[in-house]
């Protein structure tokens, strides 16, 4: 944590998240603050990158490492630094609508995937639909290599796709409630507008995957064929995870509705391994690539009629080495589909807080929204995907791969919801069931 003393007496009556403690030097009183969003610090980071600065202390070195893109941005004094309030695990600031500066709150030893993938997409692959990486600040030493900060180009946007989805769903629901039918012109127009976003997301995700798989000559980004041994490991890991999740569900005190879903899941438990083998046969032809790793609607910025993909840091609960592992592109695709499901359920829950859906009409309308959004995303992804190594041409193989990773994601969600948001468990349970039910080719 960067800290600074501000020589103003600590005002305990007015809360300020930056304040840490009161300090005194003789008769002088001040406040120790978290300086992550202070203009002097942010200016120092940007200037350090422009100068390729290095600082040494003992065996350690702090290096400012810019990309070529930084030189294309005018070198002007920084005037406005605004914190991103929603950031939790790190601290992010928007700077003069030119830069986005993120400070990592936890220094992890190893290659940071956000820096690594950002450099590859910006400097090597030339992928245009992610904010350009402008540079990073890195700590190195005999036994340490850790990212301290990262700077991206600011991209003006209308918000992330989760926020856009929530607003669109709320408007759709309002139209449905006011008129009493889902096929009114305004409701259909709302759905059509949202489908266009889903189409663009599908296209850009396919292009992102092809960019990440575009250099066979760079080892860390070379696509690797999935072997029979790899498939066996995928299945064994998911089976072991599922067994632990099923055991945990059996011990939980659940609501009646959740318990019904859990009972159905438990009834499928004896056939789980066979289903996974059916979904992912050892002869399957696919490749593992570097991928996003934590992909959902919140990682997509809506920029006019286009979308940008952000935040390649990976799943924070995994180690850096795990986040850098290659995997089939379907893992990202599954993450986005599960996020669509969550956005629909979130909208439904907002309504049910104030009124009941006695005839089930709202639930039915939202299920149609979910399925159509999912299908639009998948269709656009398939049409844009021209690399058969990443998405096989055989529809049966594609369906099995996707259902496998949808189940993997849903099981992760079950564990998360049990630990943090029990009221949301039903969403994850329902997602797991749709992937588990044998004979169904449900892509939601």
Quote the CA–CA distance of 222 and 290 in Å, as a whole number. Answer: 8
Q: Which CATH superfamily is domain 161-436 in?
A: Aminoglycoside phosphotransferase (APH), C-terminal lobe (3.90.1200.10)
Handedness of CA 94, 95, 100, 101 (dihedral sign): negative
Say whether 218 sits in a helix, a strand or coil.
coil
- Rounded to two decimals, the pTM is 0.90
Q: Residue 422 — φ and ψ, nearest 5°?
A: -55, -30
Closest of 111, 113, 163, 153 to residue 132, by C-alpha: 153
Q: How far is CA 8 from the centre of its chain?
A: 39
- CB 400 within 8 Å of CB 282: no
Please report, for the chain, the start and end positions of each structural domain, with discontinuous segments joined by +.
3-34, 39-153, 161-436
Q: Which of 52-61, 103-112, 355-364 has the lowest mean pLDDT?
A: 355-364
Q: Which of 27-36, 228-237, 352-361 has the lowest mean pLDDT?
A: 352-361
Residue 67 binned pLDDT confidence (cut-offs 50, 70, 90): very high
Task: DSSP letter for 444, please.
Answer: -
Q: What tokens were used for 359?
A: 């005839």
Closest of 213, 289, 69, 364 to residue 372, by C-alpha: 364
Closest of 151, 187, 194, 189 to residue 172, by C-alpha: 187
Instruction: Compute how many other C-beta atoms are within 10 angstroms of the C-beta atom of residue 221.
Output: 21
- CB 401 within 8 Å of CB 237: no
Query: What's the pLDDT at 180?
Result: 60
Residue 444 has pLDDT above 70, yes or no: no
Handedness of CA 227, 232, 235, 240 (dihedral sign): negative
Q: Which of 142-156, 366-380, 394-408 has the lowest mean pLDDT?
A: 394-408
Segment (H or E) for 19 = strand 19-25
State pLDDT tens for residues 235-292: 999 999 999 999 999 999 999 989 999 999 999 999 999 999 999 999 998 999 999 9
Closest of 329, 444, 441, 307 to residue 385, by C-alpha: 329
Q: Which of 33-37, 227-231, 319-323, 394-398 has the lowest mean pLDDT?
A: 394-398
Query: Per this entry, what is the length of the chain?
Result: 444
């Amino acid at each position: 944590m960067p800290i600074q003393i501000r020589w103003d007496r600590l005002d305990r009556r007015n809360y300020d998240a930056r304040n840490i403690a009161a300090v005194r030097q003789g008769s002088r009183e001040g406040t120790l603050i978290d300086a992550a969003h202070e203009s002097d610090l942010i200016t120092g980071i940007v200037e350090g990158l422009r100068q390729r600065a290095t600082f040494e202390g003992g065996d350690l070195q702090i290096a400012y490492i810019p990309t070529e893109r930084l030189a294309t941005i005018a070198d002007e004094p920084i005037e406005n630094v605004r914190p991103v309030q929603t950031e939790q695990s790190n601290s992010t600031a928007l700077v003069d609508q030119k830069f986005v500066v993120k400070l990592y709150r936890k220094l992890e030893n190893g290659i940071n995937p956000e820096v690594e993938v950002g450099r590859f997409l910006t400097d090597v692959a030339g992928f245009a639909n992610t904010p350009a990486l402008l540079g990073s600040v890195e700590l190195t030493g005999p036994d340490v290599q850790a990212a301290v900060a990262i700077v991206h180009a600011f991209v003006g946007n209308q918000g992330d796709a989760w926020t856009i989805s929530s607003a669109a769903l709320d408007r759709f629901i309002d139209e449905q409630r006011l008129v009493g039918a889902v096929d009114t012109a305004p409701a259909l127009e709302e759905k059509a507008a949202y489908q266009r976003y889903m189409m663009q997301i599908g296209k850009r995700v396919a292009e992102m995957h092809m960019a990440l798989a575009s250099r066979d000559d760079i080892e860390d980004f070379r696509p690797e064929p999935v072997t029979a041994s790899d498939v066996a490991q995928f299945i064994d890991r998911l089976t072991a995870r599922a067994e632990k999740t099923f055991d945990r569900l059996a011990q939980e005190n659940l609501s009646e509705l959740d318990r019904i879903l859990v009972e159905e899941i438990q009834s499928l438990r004896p056939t789980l391994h066979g289903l996974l083998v059916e979904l992912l046969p050892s002869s399957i032809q696919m490749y593992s690539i570097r991928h996003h790793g934590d992909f959902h609607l919140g990682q997509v910025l809506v920029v006019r009629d286009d979308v940008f993909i952000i935040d390649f840091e990976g799943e924070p609960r995994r180690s850096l080495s795990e986040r850098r592992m290659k995997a089939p592109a379907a893992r990202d695709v599954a993450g986005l589909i599960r996020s669509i499901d969550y956005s629909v359920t979130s909208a439904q829950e907002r309504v049910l807080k104030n009124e009941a859906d006695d005839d089930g009409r709202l639930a039915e309308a939202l299920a149609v929204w979910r399925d159509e959004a999912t299908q639009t995303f998948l269709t656009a992804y398939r049409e844009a995907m021209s690399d058969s190594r990443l998405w096989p041409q055989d529809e049966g193989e594609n369906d099995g791969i996707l259902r496998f990773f949808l189940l993997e994601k849903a099981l992760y969600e079950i564990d998360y919801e049990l630990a943090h948001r029990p009221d949301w468990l039903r969403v994850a349970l329902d997602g797991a069931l749709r992937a588990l039910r044998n004979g169904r080719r449900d892509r939601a």
